[in-house]
Chains A and B, each alone.
Chain A
């Protein structure tokens, strides 16, 4: 079945350092989404990417959808303590409606 793998599982950085999480799917995706979950909270939608090679930016966050539509990344520039949480990618296979989540990358930050 469809699998979405995400690395690293954990990342600890100093405040101000950059952070990247990577997402790989076993199958070609129709779209990929990213969510953030704060400790003890629920997932909150960040962005959706649809086109091959698409790049989107939200302030210090940069999202990429690979050319083959099987991988994606999220890069945070100059992390802040408010960035703490777990970042999940989630993908849909073309024709399917269920959204399959990666295992998430838990980001912790040393102030």
Chain B
């Protein structure tokens, strides 16, 4: 059973470009979380989604950031007009539908560098 798959693992963008990060949850998991981690810092909650629904986006910046989890395909975190401060590791995690209060399974992360 494949784990949580994130791609790309590394992404370099220039200021003003767009970044798209993809996350395929574990098979059978319908809950996806996105977290951001700055170097030497903790994990900051960004958004929690179920298929076709955003459940909690209280950690998402109001501008430039958006997330979706369509009925088919991976979850996508989209950052428009990137700035240097967006440079970070973005982790996706998933959990099964029957255990939404249980453990999270993390992907290996997408490391975004903004030049």
Chain A residues with a Cβ under 8 A of chain B: 1, 6, 30-31, 33, 35, 41-45, 48, 88, 90, 92, 96-104, 106
Instruction: List 6 A-B pairs, Cβ < 8 Å.
Output: A42-B91, A43-B104, A88-B43, A92-B101, A97-B48, A101-B42
B interface residues (Cβ-Cβ under 8 A, vs A): 31, 33, 35, 40-45, 48, 55-56, 58-59, 91, 93, 100-109
- Contact between chains at A41 and B100 (CB < 8 Å): no
Q: Is the CB of B106 within 8 A of A98?
A: no
Give chain A residues whose Cβ lies under 8 Å from the Cβ of B100.
97
Asked whether B45 lies within 8 Å of A98 as measured between CB atoms, the reply is yes
Write out the residue numbers on chain B whose beta carbons fall within 8 Å of the beta carbon of A44. Answer: 106
Asked if residues A97 and B45 are in contact (CB atoms below 8 Å), the reply is no
Return B6 CB to nearest CB of chain A, in Å.
9
Known: A1-B58, A99-B33. A43 touches B91 (CB 8 A): yes
Are the CB atoms of B101 and A42 closer together than 8 Å? Answer: no
Known: A42-B91, A43-B91. A104 touches B42 (CB 8 A): yes
Query: Could you tell me if B45 and A103 are in contact, using CB atoms closer than 8 angstroms?
Result: no
Across the interface, which residues of B come within 8 angstroms of A45, CB to CB? Answer: 103-105
Please measure, in the bound complex, the distance between the C-alpha atom of A101 and the C-alpha atom of B109, giving whole angstroms: 16
**Contact at A98–B56, with CB atoms within 8 Å?**
yes
Q: Is the CB of B45 within 8 A of A42?
A: no
B42 pairs with A88, CB closer than 8 A = yes
Please give me the residue from chain A that is nearest to B45 by CB atom: A98
Alpha-carbon gap, A98 to B95, bound state (A): 12
Query: Which residues of chain A have C-beta atoms less than 8 A from B102's C-beta?
Result: 48
| Contact among A42, A102, A103 for B107, CB-based, below 8 A | A42
The answer to whether B58 and A103 have CB atoms under 8 Å apart is no
Contact status A42-B106, CB under 8 Å: yes
The answer to whether B109 and A48 have CB atoms under 8 Å apart is: no
Interchain CA distance A104-B59 in the complex, whole Å: 18
Expressed in whole angstroms, the minimum distance between the Cβ of B112 and any Cβ of chain A is 15
Report the Cα distance A88→B103, complex, angstroms. Answer: 13
Q: A99: which B residues are within 8 A, CB to CB?
A: 33, 45, 104
Contact at B56–A101, with CB atoms within 8 Å? no
For the complex formed, measure the closest distance between the CB of B52 and the CB atoms of chain A, giving whole angstroms: 16
